Every structure is written in C-alpha cells, then in structure tokens.
Amino acid sequence: MSEQEKPKSFMQELDQWTESNVFAPLLSTDEEGESEEVSEETLEQVKRDIRGKVLESYRNGQAAGGKPQPARKEWRHAKAQTR
C-alpha cells in the first residue's frame, strides 16, 4: 500500500485541517513576503472553523453510540477483587 492509499488517522486529518484552516489564515503574507496583520474577520472565521470541527467530532461520537465511561473503571474493579 503506498503512502497515498493509507487511510489517515483522526489525528493526521486534524493536523492537516489545522494547518489549512487555522495556521494558513493566521500566517498569511502579502505579495512582498511581509507578514500581514490578522484582521478581526479572519480571527472570527478561524473561531467558526474550530467550533465547526469540534461539533463535527462531537456528533460523530454521538453517532458511534459511545457514552463516556468512568476513567478508572478497571482500577475500581481490581481494587474490589483484592478485598
């Protein structure tokens, strides 16, 4: 399987999304290579994009049917067995 055919992990997709939707707008330069000041409009767009990505992830988790589990369920179970 070549590099292009491998499915991307969620974190790889998130990194790619972050670079294109967060870093690129914030690190823009003008035609002469000078850094441009980030406008309020750009900052608001970045915030909307981040919120949208978080909401998408939340909805995907809900669709998967997963409910949050206690973080130390195994630990409690192991402790109860040693008594």
pLDDT by residue (tens digit) across 15-54?
898 888 888 888 876 677 677 788 888 888 888 999 999 8
Please state the pTM of the whole predicted model: 0.53
Within 13 Å and on the Cβ side, how many CA atoms surround 79?
5
Sign of the CA dihedral with 64 first, then 67, 71, and 75 last: negative
Q: Give pLDDT, residue 22.
A: 86
Angle at 36 between CA 30 and CA 37, to 5 degrees: 160
Determine the Cα–Cα distance for residues 20 and 32; give it in Å rounded to an integer.
Answer: 21
pLDDT value for 74: 62
Does residue 36 contact residue 30 with C-beta atoms inside 8 Å?
Answer: yes
The candidate with the shortest Cα–Cα distance to 23, out of 15, 13, 31, is 15
Helix (H) or strand (E) holding 18: helix 10-18
pLDDT of residue 63: 87
